[in-house]
């Protein structure tokens, strides 16, 4: 099975109650809907240009049902991911500077 990259587009939600049959109480729940998009290719045999490859964007969704505790847990994990990504962003600045310095050194060496 081939995998493809799905890109985040947005998030929607639906809030509702569910019944806890052990206590007969209503429990608040939320449905978190993550919207994604991915590129799909197909061979178009109907066009004058037989066998032409056509590119399209396909929208998808991933639904999660959870409670307030689940949402708070996701927020905590997303904040940890954001912190890790900020560290990688700082690292990329340094690596990009090294690459640029290396390019300049190579071009100066070729001129001599």
Are residues 7 and 51 located together in one domain of the fold?
A: yes
Question: Which residues contact residue 6 at a Cβ distance below 8 angstroms, ignoring those fewer than 6 apart?
Answer: 36, 37, 38, 60
Domains identified in the chain, total number: 2
* Overall average pLDDT of the 6-11 stretch: 95
> Is the model's pLDDT at 32 over the cut of 90?
yes
For residue 106, CA distances in Å to 65, 96, 97 come to 55, 15, 14
Over the stretch 57-90, which tens digit does the pLDDT of each residue have? Answer: 999 999 999 999 999 999 999 999 999 999 999 9
Are residues 75 and 99 located together in one domain of the fold?
A: yes
- Annotate 9-20 with DSSP letters as a single string: EEEEEEEEEEEE
Look-up of token digits 């998009």? 37
Over the stretch 96-112, which tens digit does the pLDDT of each residue have? Answer: 999 998 888 887 766 65
Are residues 60 and 88 located together in one domain of the fold?
A: no
Look-up of token digits 């799905």? 6
Q: Which domain holds residue 98?
A: 68-112
Are residues 41 and 11 located together in one domain of the fold?
A: yes
Look-up of token digits 């929607």? 12
> Is the model's pLDDT at 47 over the cut of 70?
no
């Amino acid at each position: 099975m081939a995998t493809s990259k799905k890109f985040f587009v947005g998030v929607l939600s639906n809030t509702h109650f569910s019944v806890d049959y052990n206590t007969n109480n209503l429990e608040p729940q939320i449905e978190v809907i993550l919207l994604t998009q991915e590129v799909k290719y197909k061979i178009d045999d109907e066009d004058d240009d037989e066998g032409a490859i056509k590119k399209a964007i396909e929208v998808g969704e991933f639904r999660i049902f959870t409670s307030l505790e689940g949402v708070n847990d996701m927020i905590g994990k997303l904040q940890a991911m954001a912190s890790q990504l900020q560290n990688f962003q700082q690292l990329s600045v340094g690596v990009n500077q090294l690459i640029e310095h290396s390019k300049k050194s190579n071009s100066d060496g070729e001129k001599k």
